[in-house]
Amino acid sequence: MNLQGKPTFAHPKRGLGLSVRQLGWLAIGILATSTIPAFVGDYWVRVLIFVFINIGLASAWNIIGGFTGYASFGHGVFFGIGAFVSAIGIVRFGLPLPVMMVLGGIAAGLVALSIAPVFKQRGLYFAMSTLAVMLVFETVFQRWTFTRGLKPHDVGWTVNSQLSLIEFYYLFLLLLAAVIGSVILLVHSRAGYAMKAIHKDEVLAASIGVRTNRYKAVAFVFSAVWPGVLGAAFAPFLSFVSVQSVFDLNITLNMILMCIFGGAGTILGPIVGGIALSVIDQIAWGNFLHYHRLINGALIVAIITLYPAGLVALVRGHVERQRARTGASSINANLRTS
């Protein structure tokens, strides 16, 4: 805090430098990933598309759950809203996919803004409130004739695929780059530092002038818009959109688990968690089909119990210990020779 009693944040030049470096690594990673379809078959291309979607959703959830410290258990509602907006717009009104992706994000953001008053609650009460919101929307979309299909007896929407599998691959890769890039810019902005302050101690942050309600709303809306966009792009890829397929609670659970498994509150956490859990899932499905859920659950519990900060913290800790040992060895060597 400065002499005038106003909150101070990290130096903007330092944040800008971190953003540039992280965006540079992101660009390298995206360029490398763009070459994968040339070396693998359609099966792995489809698997990677789901990996991109999961990482994008986990990165968006990380803003509200990891950096701001408000664990939302109903975030899948925004993905479902985006998917339904896209399906209805494409099938009923014949709108193109890019338009529906924008509208899906806007719709999800408006819904998030409308339920922002739930931030008066904290902890378990906030988590249960967001879960209740998802259940309400799930019921409405399931019962409302307009959202069920063109005919009264329909239970969903059959959306014609507008792109080939490879085109969907690059679409979701670009969306993933946009999600992670925007997260990097947000985290190193004034709003990002305010979110971290709220996570650290919300009462203290408010006492030094941080407008906690404003920044919590910014975090919540931002973390809702991207699932809406991803859901809108997912609708034609899935081909058939129903309440059961896009309002599944597992979608929210995957966001949370991937984020925590990799390291909540870090840029790399959702990426590492998404890749690690996807690899584990494929190995378990291919070799231990009957023990698939048991293996996944045991690994997740082990990591969260032994390393609650996630895989990123585990690797960083190992690297720091190695550096410390190397430094100590060099000092001892210098002392012997002196």
Tokens 């942050």 found at: 205
Could you read off the pLDDT of 90-118 as tens digits, one per residue? 999 999 999 999 999 999 999 999 988 88
Per-residue pLDDT, 46 = 95
* Helix, strand, coil percent values for the chain (each to nearest 5): 80, 0, 20
> What does the domain layout of the chain look like in residue ranges?
12-248
Percent of the chain having pLDDT more than 90?
61
Could you read off the pLDDT of 32-56 as tens digits, one per residue? 999 999 999 999 999 999 999 999 9
Has residue 195 got a pLDDT over 90?
yes
Could you read off the pLDDT of 1-37 as tens digits, one per residue? 443 344 444 555 556 677 889 999 999 999 999 999 9
| Band (281; pLDDT cuts 50, 70, 90) | confident
Per-residue pLDDT, 8 = 45
What distance in Å separates the CA atoms of residue 137 and residue 77, rounded to the nearest whole number? Answer: 7
Question: Number of H helices and number of E strands within the chain?
Answer: 14, 2
Dihedral of CA 146/253/130/69: which sign? Answer: negative
Per-residue pLDDT, 335 = 58
Q: What is the mean pLDDT of residues 58-77?
A: 94
- Name which of 1-5, 28-32, 279-283, 328-332 the model is least confident about: 1-5
Has residue 295 got a pLDDT over 70?
yes
CB 108 within 8 A of CB 81: yes
The answer to whether the pTM exceeds 0.85 is yes
Could you read off the pLDDT of 138-184 as tens digits, one per residue? 999 988 888 888 887 788 999 988 799 999 999 999 999 999 999 99
